[in-house]
């Protein structure tokens, strides 16, 4: 069973939580890692579970758990950064744990960042929310995700948010299935800039797109296998920046 271990008090006024677990195109993962590298953040918690595969993420020589939670005081944001593909059998437990922790810490809304595979390459961003009223919060250039399914951990987070009576928004970047897609991640960040005024410049992300695609290919393949075959082997930890 998943649990969140607090490191510091959140101490934010009705924060918004952004999560980007590995999924289609690694859109959420790339977006949250880029936000991590671009904003002033302080770690406030970490998540662990007996069902997580045995892996420790190492960044610049320091071992960290593969699911970490950070805060940004300036914009009253919480950020979930993870290099761990969540097995479908663990998705509901992880989502419920995250939503319960969010509610206990006064989170106003949860925003899931993910990808959606399409046959198009127009770079569109789709949006879905836990209530009809929240649709008005989506910028004009975000297309409402009319009908379909949001699979994996992001879908579970949206469902658990709805069950808990919390506001939930899912931003889905159009992508080519499981290949790493930093360009789609940049488009998602641009929407966040418009919605929350965080003003993160995505120019460097676009410049690094080819490098990031190469570096994160292993994690993308592991994420695909986790979703398709139900594997629980340790993912290939990849950091960039």
Number of domains in the chain: 1
> Structural domain of residue 134, as residue ranges?
3-229
pLDDT in tens, 27-76: 999 999 999 999 999 999 999 999 998 887 887 898 888 899 999 999 99
* 128 belongs to a structural domain: yes
CATH number at residue 13: 3.40.50.10900
* 169 belongs to a structural domain: yes
Strand 77-82 and strand 16-19: the pairing is: parallel
- Identify the sign of the CA torsion 38, 43, 47, 48: positive
Judge contact between 185 and 191, C-beta under 8 A: no
* 174 belongs to a structural domain: yes
pLDDT of residue 148: 84
* 93 belongs to a structural domain: yes
* 239 belongs to a structural domain: no
* 237 belongs to a structural domain: no
Strand 125-129 and strand 142-144: the pairing is: parallel
* 236 belongs to a structural domain: no
pLDDT in tens, 156-212: 999 999 999 999 999 999 987 667 899 999 999 999 999 999 999 999 999 988 888
* 148 belongs to a structural domain: yes
Which whole number is the average pLDDT over 115-123?
A: 82
- Angle at which helix 88-104 crosses helix 152-163, to 10 degrees, equals 40
């Amino acid at each position: 069973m998943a649990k969140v271990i607090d490191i510091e008090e959140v101490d934010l006024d009705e924060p918004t939580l952004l999560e980007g677990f590995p999924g289609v195109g690694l859109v959420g993962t790339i977006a949250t890692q880029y936000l991590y590298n671009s904003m002033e953040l302080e770690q406030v918690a970490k998540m662990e579970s007996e069902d997580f595969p045995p892996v420790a993420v190492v960044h610049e020589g320091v071992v960290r758990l593969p699911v970490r939670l950070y805060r940004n005081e300036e914009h009253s944001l919480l950020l979930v950064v993870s290099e761990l593909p969540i097995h479908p059998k663990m998705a509901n437990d992880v989502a419920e744990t995250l939503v319960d922790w969010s509610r206990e810490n006064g989170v106003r809304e949860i925003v899931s960042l993910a990808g959606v595979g399409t046959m198009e390459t127009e770079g569109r961003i789709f949006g879905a929310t836990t209530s009809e009223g929240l649709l008005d919060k989506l910028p004009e250039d975000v297309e409402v995700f009319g009908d379909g399914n949001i699979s994996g951990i992001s879908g579970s987070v949206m469902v658990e948010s709805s069950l808990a009576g919390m506001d939930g928004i899912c931003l889905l970047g159009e992508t080519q299935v499981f290949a790493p897609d930093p360009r789609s991640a940049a488009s998602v960040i641009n929407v966040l800039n418009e919605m929350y005024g965080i003003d993160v410049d995505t120019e460097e992300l676009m410049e690094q797109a080819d490098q990031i695609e190469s570096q994160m290919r292993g994690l993308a393949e592991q994420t695909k296998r986790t979703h398709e075959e139900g594997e629980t082997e340790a993912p290939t930890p990849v950091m960039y920046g």
